[in-house]
Amino acid sequence: MKKYRVALQVIATLLLATVSFAIGVWYAGVYADNQLDTHNLLAKRIFLSKPSDTLLDFEPLRAQFRKDLAYYDGEVSLYFEYLPTGTSIRIGDAQHMVAASLLKVPAIMELHKLVEAGQVSLDTEVVLREEWLDAEYGDLYKKGAGYKLTLDELSRLVLEQSDNTALHAVQSVTAKYVGSLDSSAYDALDVDYVDTEQTNLSMSARAYASFMKCLYFSCYLSADSSQDIMAHLANSTYGGEGRLGKYIPDDVPIAHKIGVAGNQVQSDCGIVYAPNRNYLLCVMLGENKERGPEVIAQISKAAYDYVVDAR
């Protein structure tokens, strides 16, 4: 009788362990699915998920890039990375180009870092000042001094419309907390850049790609903050139609930011969410506003076609 009870206890323990394991697997799957639904612009590998397709041979694409950009020898910086494997292509890796409006992304990353630290709130209301009004990029300046917006609304305008007035307003708040963070986005990611009195802040495409990758992998901010920023970048209404997104199908999301330094440098950098084959492409080009966007668009098309069609 005693042996019978022991056997029953063993069987019950095994059943309990099996059921617990099954529940754990089920819960992990549900959790992963929920996280992917709410953080769909971040890397799947952050959560438990099905693996992405793996491509190995990018030499034909590398050769295509070099051919297409040969004309810009010394005036181009390109970085491509196939995110499922980390395979990369670099052209002009040491070439520093004026980053211009690309820098609005790390500015908003640092705002979110302050929010996560509890030092500011995205619900904080900011009143526009006359000295912030900037007509160069964006339309917020038309509202005039005295107009009120929250930091959340301002950050959306910075990322989606590259609005300079909104950026000035955001920086007026974040400037008060300079030095309060353990490290800036630049320092945390070891971003290599040049900034002197004679030149505007410049960096290579590979260096700038660090910001996009960090958002994608949620390495500086929480998943919620990273998703929020990437969602705004995916809704960008400024410049995408003539650059990375021009020849990409409308149903393929692209979280990107453009940069324009007058008629000297044209840039676009972002994550292209090709199904199961997400990749990063950053192009910085010494070209004018008329020709530069189309060159970037053609490079983007070559990358997309290769990634989608490769077997």
- 3-state SS, residue 243: coil
Give the model's pLDDT for residue 51: 57
67 in a structural domain: yes
110 in a structural domain: no
- For residues 56 and 35, what is the distance between their CA atoms, to the nearest angstrom? 28
Residue type, 272: V
The rounded mean pLDDT for the chain is 87
255 in a structural domain: yes
20 and 88 co-located in one domain: no
11 and 83 co-located in one domain: no
Band of pLDDT at residue 28, cut at 50, 70 and 90:
very low
Q: What is the count of structural domains for the chain?
A: 2
Q: Take residue 17 and report the two structure tokens written for it.
A: 């362990």
305 in a structural domain: yes
156 in a structural domain: no
CATH assignment of the domain containing 92: 3.40.710.10
124 in a structural domain: no
Quick check: 164 pLDDT over 50?
Answer: yes
pTM of the full structure: 0.84
- For residues 285 and 217, what is the distance between their CA atoms, to the nearest angstrom? 26
Give the model's pLDDT for residue 295: 96
- For residues 130 and 139, what is the distance between their CA atoms, to the nearest angstrom? 14
Q: What are phi and psi of 51, to 5 degrees?
A: -70, 155
Region of residue 218 (phi > 0: left; psi between -120 and 50: alpha; otherwise: beta): left
Give the model's pLDDT for residue 5: 55
163 in a structural domain: no
Q: What are phi and psi of 70, to 5 degrees?
A: -60, -35
Residues spanned by the domain of 87: 54-101+191-309
292 and 201 co-located in one domain: yes
Alpha helices by DSSP H, listed for 70-204, are 104-116, 151-161, 164-174, 185-188
11 and 85 co-located in one domain: no
211 in a structural domain: yes
205 and 299 co-located in one domain: yes
